[in-house]
Amino acid sequence: MRIRKKPWFEAEMSTNRAIIDEPAENKGRWHEFFGNENPIHIEIGCGKGQFLSEMSKRNPDVNYIGIEREPQIIVSALKKSRIAEVGDNIAFFIADVETLGEIFEAGEVSRIYTNFADPWHRRKKWAKRRLTHRRFLDIYEGIFGENGGELFMKTDNTVLFEFSLNEIADKGWRLHNISFDLHNSDFEGNVMTEFEEKFSAMGMPIYRLEGYFNKSPE
Protein backbone atom coordinates (compact mmCIF):
# COMPACT_ATOMS: atom_id res chain seq x y z
CA MET A 1 0.00 0.00 0.00
CA ARG A 2 1.39 3.41 -0.98
CA ILE A 3 1.52 5.88 1.91
CA ARG A 4 0.32 9.39 1.13
CA LYS A 5 3.00 12.04 1.58
CA LYS A 6 2.07 14.50 4.31
CA PRO A 7 2.03 18.21 3.37
CA TRP A 8 4.68 18.98 6.00
CA PHE A 9 6.92 16.07 4.91
CA GLU A 10 9.76 17.99 3.25
CA ALA A 11 9.97 20.66 5.96
CA GLU A 12 10.09 18.05 8.73
CA MET A 13 12.80 16.05 6.97
CA SER A 14 14.96 19.11 6.50
CA THR A 15 14.53 20.79 9.89
CA ASN A 16 14.19 18.03 12.50
CA ARG A 17 17.69 17.38 13.77
CA ALA A 18 16.77 13.90 14.97
CA ILE A 19 17.05 12.63 11.39
CA ILE A 20 20.41 11.27 10.21
CA ASP A 21 20.86 11.75 6.46
CA GLU A 22 23.97 9.59 5.99
CA PRO A 23 24.05 7.07 8.85
CA ALA A 24 26.94 5.08 7.37
CA GLU A 25 29.20 8.09 7.94
CA ASN A 26 28.86 7.45 11.68
CA LYS A 27 30.07 3.84 11.51
CA GLY A 28 32.53 3.37 14.36
CA ARG A 29 31.69 6.85 15.69
CA TRP A 30 28.18 6.48 17.08
CA HIS A 31 29.25 7.21 20.64
CA GLU A 32 30.89 10.36 19.33
CA PHE A 33 27.62 11.24 17.57
CA PHE A 34 25.71 11.04 20.87
CA GLY A 35 28.55 12.61 22.84
CA ASN A 36 28.76 9.85 25.44
CA GLU A 37 29.64 6.19 25.98
CA ASN A 38 26.12 5.09 26.92
CA PRO A 39 24.82 1.84 25.39
CA ILE A 40 23.08 2.08 22.03
CA HIS A 41 19.77 0.32 21.45
CA ILE A 42 18.07 0.27 18.05
CA GLU A 43 14.52 -0.48 16.95
CA ILE A 44 14.10 -2.01 13.51
CA GLY A 45 10.80 -0.85 12.05
CA CYS A 46 10.15 1.93 14.53
CA GLY A 47 6.83 2.94 12.96
CA LYS A 48 5.64 6.31 14.23
CA GLY A 49 8.02 6.27 17.17
CA GLN A 50 5.71 5.82 20.16
CA PHE A 51 7.71 2.95 21.71
CA LEU A 52 11.13 4.47 21.13
CA SER A 53 10.13 7.94 22.30
CA GLU A 54 8.82 6.59 25.59
CA MET A 55 11.88 4.40 26.07
CA SER A 56 14.18 7.38 25.55
CA LYS A 57 12.32 9.33 28.23
CA ARG A 58 12.41 6.49 30.74
CA ASN A 59 16.07 5.69 30.15
CA PRO A 60 18.11 8.87 29.63
CA ASP A 61 21.33 6.86 30.13
CA VAL A 62 20.67 4.85 26.94
CA ASN A 63 20.95 6.11 23.35
CA TYR A 64 18.14 5.04 21.01
CA ILE A 65 18.03 4.86 17.23
CA GLY A 66 14.86 4.18 15.24
CA ILE A 67 15.23 2.62 11.79
CA GLU A 68 12.58 2.59 9.07
CA ARG A 69 12.55 1.80 5.35
CA GLU A 70 9.63 4.09 4.54
CA PRO A 71 10.35 7.86 4.70
CA GLN A 72 6.67 8.81 5.06
CA ILE A 73 6.40 6.65 8.17
CA ILE A 74 9.55 7.91 9.83
CA VAL A 75 8.61 11.54 9.24
CA SER A 76 5.57 10.96 11.47
CA ALA A 77 7.94 9.62 14.11
CA LEU A 78 10.07 12.72 13.73
CA LYS A 79 7.11 15.05 14.08
CA LYS A 80 6.05 13.24 17.27
CA SER A 81 9.55 12.98 18.74
CA ARG A 82 10.87 16.50 18.93
CA ILE A 83 14.34 16.52 20.48
CA ALA A 84 13.30 19.35 22.78
CA GLU A 85 10.66 17.07 24.24
CA VAL A 86 12.43 13.73 24.47
CA GLY A 87 16.07 14.68 25.00
CA ASP A 88 19.29 14.19 23.05
CA ASN A 89 19.38 10.40 23.34
CA ILE A 90 17.20 9.58 20.33
CA ALA A 91 17.73 9.67 16.57
CA PHE A 92 16.23 8.16 13.42
CA PHE A 93 17.37 7.16 9.97
CA ILE A 94 16.01 5.51 6.84
CA ALA A 95 17.66 2.23 5.85
CA ASP A 96 17.10 -1.41 5.05
CA VAL A 97 17.97 -3.92 7.76
CA GLU A 98 20.33 -5.71 5.37
CA THR A 99 22.64 -2.67 5.41
CA LEU A 100 23.14 -2.54 9.20
CA GLY A 101 26.63 -4.00 8.87
CA GLU A 102 27.56 -0.98 6.73
CA ILE A 103 26.24 1.42 9.37
CA PHE A 104 27.39 -0.03 12.69
CA GLU A 105 30.82 -1.30 13.70
CA ALA A 106 30.98 -4.55 15.65
CA GLY A 107 30.22 -3.82 19.29
CA GLU A 108 28.45 -0.48 18.78
CA VAL A 109 24.92 -1.84 19.34
CA SER A 110 24.03 -3.79 22.47
CA ARG A 111 20.28 -4.31 22.01
CA ILE A 112 17.85 -4.61 19.10
CA TYR A 113 14.07 -4.30 19.30
CA THR A 114 11.75 -5.77 16.66
CA ASN A 115 8.16 -4.95 17.55
CA PHE A 116 5.22 -6.23 15.49
CA ALA A 117 7.26 -6.79 12.37
CA ASP A 118 5.63 -8.11 9.21
CA PRO A 119 5.13 -11.86 9.85
CA TRP A 120 5.41 -12.82 6.16
CA HIS A 121 3.28 -15.88 6.90
CA ARG A 122 1.10 -16.30 3.83
CA ARG A 123 3.70 -18.14 1.76
CA LYS A 124 6.33 -20.53 3.08
CA LYS A 125 9.05 -19.10 0.84
CA TRP A 126 8.57 -15.69 2.47
CA ALA A 127 10.03 -16.94 5.77
CA LYS A 128 13.47 -15.63 4.81
CA ARG A 129 12.05 -12.08 4.94
CA ARG A 130 11.21 -12.33 8.64
CA LEU A 131 13.45 -10.20 10.86
CA THR A 132 14.22 -13.23 13.01
CA HIS A 133 15.30 -15.41 10.09
CA ARG A 134 18.83 -16.73 10.59
CA ARG A 135 20.22 -14.54 7.80
CA PHE A 136 19.17 -11.48 9.79
CA LEU A 137 20.39 -13.01 13.04
CA ASP A 138 23.80 -13.29 11.32
CA ILE A 139 23.69 -9.53 10.66
CA TYR A 140 22.77 -8.83 14.28
CA GLU A 141 25.65 -10.97 15.51
CA GLY A 142 27.97 -8.91 13.32
CA ILE A 143 27.00 -5.59 14.87
CA PHE A 144 26.86 -7.02 18.39
CA GLY A 145 30.47 -8.17 18.12
CA GLU A 146 32.41 -10.22 20.63
CA ASN A 147 30.69 -8.66 23.65
CA GLY A 148 27.36 -10.05 22.50
CA GLY A 149 23.96 -8.43 22.46
CA GLU A 150 20.23 -8.78 23.01
CA LEU A 151 17.22 -9.09 20.73
CA PHE A 152 13.85 -8.18 22.27
CA MET A 153 10.79 -9.04 20.20
CA LYS A 154 7.02 -8.57 20.46
CA THR A 155 4.33 -9.73 18.05
CA ASP A 156 0.68 -10.67 17.83
CA ASN A 157 1.37 -13.39 15.25
CA THR A 158 1.64 -16.99 16.48
CA VAL A 159 3.38 -18.25 13.33
CA LEU A 160 6.07 -15.60 13.52
CA PHE A 161 6.59 -16.12 17.25
CA GLU A 162 7.00 -19.88 17.03
CA PHE A 163 9.29 -19.47 14.04
CA SER A 164 11.39 -16.95 15.95
CA LEU A 165 11.76 -19.21 18.98
CA ASN A 166 13.08 -21.99 16.75
CA GLU A 167 15.41 -19.80 14.69
CA ILE A 168 16.96 -18.14 17.73
CA ALA A 169 17.39 -21.46 19.53
CA ASP A 170 18.90 -23.10 16.43
CA LYS A 171 21.49 -20.30 16.28
CA GLY A 172 22.58 -21.17 19.80
CA TRP A 173 21.31 -17.97 21.43
CA ARG A 174 19.88 -18.03 24.95
CA LEU A 175 16.13 -17.45 25.29
CA HIS A 176 14.66 -15.67 28.30
CA ASN A 177 11.41 -14.04 29.46
CA ILE A 178 9.28 -15.91 26.93
CA SER A 179 5.63 -14.90 27.19
CA PHE A 180 2.64 -16.17 25.23
CA ASP A 181 0.34 -13.61 26.84
CA LEU A 182 2.41 -10.63 27.90
CA HIS A 183 -0.38 -8.47 29.32
CA ASN A 184 -1.54 -11.27 31.60
CA SER A 185 1.96 -12.12 32.80
CA ASP A 186 4.02 -10.77 35.69
CA PHE A 187 6.42 -8.93 33.36
CA GLU A 188 7.06 -5.37 34.57
CA GLY A 189 8.08 -2.23 32.71
CA ASN A 190 6.41 -2.97 29.37
CA VAL A 191 6.17 -0.03 26.96
CA MET A 192 3.45 -0.44 24.37
CA THR A 193 3.65 0.32 20.67
CA GLU A 194 0.80 1.68 18.55
CA PHE A 195 0.02 -1.80 17.21
CA GLU A 196 0.21 -3.32 20.67
CA GLU A 197 -2.43 -0.93 22.00
CA LYS A 198 -4.68 -1.77 19.07
CA PHE A 199 -4.31 -5.54 19.27
CA SER A 200 -4.54 -5.78 23.05
CA ALA A 201 -7.73 -3.68 23.00
CA MET A 202 -9.17 -6.35 20.70
CA GLY A 203 -8.35 -9.01 23.29
CA MET A 204 -5.52 -10.54 21.27
CA PRO A 205 -2.59 -12.06 23.19
CA ILE A 206 0.80 -10.39 22.81
CA TYR A 207 3.85 -12.61 22.48
CA ARG A 208 7.26 -11.54 23.72
CA LEU A 209 10.76 -13.00 23.93
CA GLU A 210 14.33 -12.02 24.71
CA GLY A 211 17.19 -13.59 22.78
CA TYR A 212 20.79 -13.28 24.00
CA PHE A 213 23.75 -13.75 21.68
CA ASN A 214 27.03 -14.68 23.33
CA LYS A 215 25.92 -13.45 26.77
CA SER A 216 23.66 -14.41 29.63
CA PRO A 217 20.41 -12.65 30.63
CA GLU A 218 20.85 -10.16 33.42
Catalytic residue numbers?
A: 118
Q: Give yes or no for a contact between 20 and 92, defined as CB atoms under 8 angstroms apart.
A: yes
Encode 169-182: b = buried (16+ Cβ within 10 Å), e = exposed: eeeebbeeeebeeb
- Say if residues 195 and 49 touch (Cβ distance below 8 Å): no
SS (H, E, C) 4-40: CCCCCHHHHHHHCCCECCCHHHHCCCHHHHHCCCCCE
Q: What is the widest separation between alpha-carbon atoms in the chain?
A: 47
